[in-house]
Structure 1
Amino acid sequence: MSLRVLALETSTDWPSLALLTPERLLGERLWEARQTLAEQLVPKMQELLKEANLSPQDLSLIAVSRGPGSFTGIRIGVVTAKGLAQALGIPLLGVSALDALAWGTPCQGFRTCVALLPAPKRGVYVGVYQVKGKALHHQGPFRFLLPHQIVETLTLCPLPGLLTGTASAVERWLEALGQGWQWAGPAFGWPRASVVGALAWQRWQRGEREDLHSFAPLYLKPTEAEEKLGTIVYPPRP
């Protein structure tokens, strides 16, 4: 039987669910859920499985976006994914929302791809990637940046550069960054569950596994001291 992956992405106001195998996407749901995610997530999951003529017992792997992003959304997604994996006795693999956003964007032709998600205090969560052909390579850790740091940080990136994320997270920085930068556009504004599932499948192929009990969301929430400094990075400094 082919591996069947159920993927959850709940880090933004536009959550999504996807059902896929290594060969094809069986179905995907994307909807707006500002205050109703907890009530909608499981029913939409049931609808997705029903349309594919599958039951939860047919699943082989649960994939979940672990953040950063909406604190409430990430918590709901991770708790739901862990509960499913535990109840079904199947593995769980986590994927960063920034990785899902970047890998879901066509970055060929650029030297740098920067994934941006809205964060508290008008800041952004940032993932910077070097583009090599169709592959993306992390350039440093994920970061939480406040407004005064964003342009300063991104001007160090090789050009041409591509910004991907929602209009609210991206548009205000384009003019300040100047020539050499483009926005991927609204079609690539949110991380997608289908990309979360595909990246989780790649991790599975490499033999990577999560410890279900210690698996936790990636909040990138700044401490009080870090807020004063205006930056936080992940993985944490030793």
Structure 2
Amino acid sequence: MLLAMDTASTTASAAIYDLKKAQLLGECTWEGRRRQTQNLLVMVRHLMASVDVKPTDLTALAVTTGPGSFTGVRIAVSAAKGIGLGLPSPPAAIGIPTLTVTAAPWHALASACNAALTLCAVMFAGRGRYHWTLFAADEPLHRPDANAHCTGTAADLGAFLERLNLHPCWLVGEVDADLATAVDALAHVVVIEPVYGLRRAGVLAHVAARLLEAGVVESLSSLQPLYLREP
């Protein structure tokens, strides 16, 4: 069994995934705001009980590593390390950038529409700013490092995407009215309305399961936050 946890932003989410059956058993997602520390393990315990999974059933742990808030990213990473240390056998561990999870639901459809299509995944960074990074449509397991991420205003993102005018691009994730306005004049950019109001740990679990199947296995000690700037 795999436990996936995401507290990188105000959205908090946890999921249980059966690796043998390749099946999501359950998930809970909520607007965590500043209460992830108090709520995360309570929600995880409730979720595991609801799908009849015991801590000793866990063989893998997955977390979003960032970008996100300084404290938020560390909550899930720290929780995974603590849970892992308490298990009878060391679990497989995997850290996945937040925007990889944001882009994940769109790769199959993007590849079917146009293999050359680029996904630009975006999330709120606070104070009128955004984090974003690019994914090829056929790279659903890509884990971009800090240098592949950008941070800026809606106007900055619009200027960035304008330089991609030779390529079709889907803008996915936390797209608000300011971002939609900033890219409105860009014919090659399509704004994908969010299907999910909140980022889901079920998607994180699915990506983690595929990475584990591909042989990407990490340790608890290797789980580290992905920060784009000094806190």
- Comparing 186-195 and 138-147, the one that deviates more: 138-147
Tell me the residue number matched to 1:195.
203
Instruction: Classify 1:19/1:218 alpha carbon distance in 2 versus 1 (closer, same or farther; 3 Å).
Output: same
For 1:139 and 1:27, how far apart are their aligned partners in 2? 27
1:74-153 aligned within 5 A: 74-88=73-87, 89-105=90-106, 106-108=109-111, 109=113, 111-132=117-138, 141-147=147-153, 148-153=155-160
Instruction: Classify 1:198/1:98 alpha carbon distance in 2 versus 1 (closer, same or farther; 3 Å).
Output: same
**Unaligned stretches of 5+ in structure 1?**
224-238
For 2:68 and 2:16, how far apart are their aligned partners in 1? 22
179, 183, 194: which one pairs with 1:174?
Answer: 183
Tell me the residue number matched to 2:226.
218
- Number of equivalenced pairs: 218
Instruction: Classify 1:187/1:50 alpha carbon distance in 2 versus 1 (closer, same or farther; 3 Å).
Output: same
Asked if the contact 1:104/1:188 (under 8 Å) is kept, the reply is no
SS in 1 for 2:149: strand
Asked if the contact 1:9/1:65 (under 8 Å) is kept, the reply is yes
- Normalising by the residue count of structure 2, what TM-score does the alignment of the two structures yield? 0.83
For 1:99 and 1:139, how far apart are their aligned partners in 2? 8
- Normalising by the residue count of structure 1, what TM-score does the alignment of the two structures yield? 0.81
Instruction: Classify 1:84/1:172 alpha carbon distance in 2 versus 1 (closer, same or farther; 3 Å).
Output: farther
Letter in 2 for 1:219: Y
SS in 2 for 1:167: coil
Question: What is the CA deviation profile of residues 213-233 of structure 1, one whole-angstrom value per residue up to 9, with x for unaligned ones?
Answer: 24210021258xxxxxxxxxx
Instruction: Classify 1:138/1:38 alpha carbon distance in 2 versus 1 (closer, same or farther; 3 Å).
Output: closer
Asked if the contact 2:125/2:131 (under 8 Å) is kept, the reply is yes
Give identity over the alignment, percent.
Answer: 27
Instruction: Classify 1:138/1:39 alpha carbon distance in 2 versus 1 (closer, same or farther; 3 Å).
Output: closer
Instruction: Classify 1:215/1:138 alpha carbon distance in 2 versus 1 (closer, same or farther; 3 Å).
Output: closer
Shift, 1:154, TM fit:
1.4
Tell me the residue number matched to 1:11.
8
For 2:172 and 2:128, how far apart are their aligned partners in 1? 17
Are residue 162 (structure 1) and residue 170 (structure 2) matched? yes
Letter in 1 for 2:45: Q
Asked if the contact 1:7/1:194 (under 8 Å) is kept, the reply is yes
Shift, 1:186, TM fit:
2.6
RMSD of Structure 2 on Structure 1 (CA): 2.5
Shift, 1:120, TM fit:
4.6
Instruction: Classify 1:135/1:80 alpha carbon distance in 2 versus 1 (closer, same or farther; 3 Å).
Output: closer
For 1:24 and 1:170, how far apart are their aligned partners in 2? 35
**Unaligned stretches of 5+ in structure 2?**
none
Shift, 1:173, TM fit:
2.7
Higher relative CO (CA 8 A, sep ≥ 6), structure 1 or 2? 2
